[in-house]
Amino acid sequence: MIEKHLVLEDIDPVVFYGVGNSHLQMLKALFPKLRIVARDNVIRVLGDDEQMATFEEQVELMRKHVLKYNRISEEDILDIIHGHKTKDEAVKGVVCYSISGRPIKPRSENQQKLVDGFDKDDMLFAVGPAGTGKTYLSIALAVRALKEKQAKKIILSRPAVEAGEKLGFLPGDMKDKIDPYLQPLYDALEDMIPAVKLQDMMEKRIIQIAPLAFMRGRTLSDAVVILDEAQNTTPAQIRMFLTRMGWNTKMIITGDMTQVDLPREHQSGLREAIRILKGVEGISFVELNKKDIVRHKLVTRIVNAYEAFDRENKSQDAQ
């Protein structure tokens, strides 16, 4: 008889054990010759060497399933133990899975170009109107890289440009003032990583979310770095950001040129960067449009209406 302690790394043990420990009870029934006791993320197993080796192998396959899909069912457990493919493995082109098990994957040709550009090059510019999925899909790619250990951390940033309220008039300390600007990034992460695990990753700085100003002086290595809302950077800011790139790092820069909140006298750094860097080897550019909008159908109509309004205003100004 030997004893082993199996550690469930990188996953939420509650998902692994099931509601009311139902998955754990199932494992005990499937391996009756082993004594299995679980506490937090550690499974203590007592039994003979041969059964122990089989159990350890199956637990690791189950752990990888939960890591990839953020869930596991009793049917999945049986499929894994009997050596069958689970139904999730039949889904093609998936970047990662939401915490509810929903597959996150490209839903248009240009979104697929975004994924292909990330896989091919170390820097990617993704520009398009609201609702085209550029930020959400970019964060999904970063989460995939982290889960597959292609990166050691995720760094997400946005310029804290005021669009109505001044920072100084918002309540609270600096973190309270800045967090509203970063909320869309939190929302996407919360949809892909279980809350307990996300909190742990943020405390350990595996996932970092910070305003663009906090990037100065840093060298960002072994990471996926995303700059969101880059249309609101100045030329100096985006130049500073792009030169933070370190070894084994991928950068994604997203923006919407129709939503520039900079003062009129300031040029958008994103527009200038795209013009300067076009044709540079190792950089991909993807332009999404209203055909790629994956939000409510009204968003497409709103975008169309504003485009028509802008065209009308330009034609009047030209007269």
pTM of the model: 0.78
**pLDDT (average), residues 213-240:** 90
What does the alpha-carbon distance between residue 181 and residue 228 come to, in Å, rounded to a whole number?
Answer: 10
The conformation of residue 252, written as its DSSP 8-state character, comes to E
**pLDDT (average), residues 249-266:** 87
* Average pLDDT of every residue of the chain: 86
The conformation of residue 86, written as its DSSP 8-state character, comes to P
Q: Is the pLDDT of residue 14 over 70?
A: yes
What does the alpha-carbon distance between residue 138 and residue 229 come to, in Å, rounded to a whole number?
Answer: 12
Q: Is the pLDDT of residue 51 over 50?
A: yes
**How high is the pLDDT of residue 90?**
60
Contacts of 6 (CB under 8 A, 6+ apart): 42, 43, 45, 56, 59
Q: Is the pLDDT of residue 50 over 70?
A: yes
- Express as a percent the part of the chain with pLDDT over 70: 90
Residue 229: which of 217, 238, 221 has the closest Cα? 238
The conformation of residue 21, written as its DSSP 8-state character, comes to G
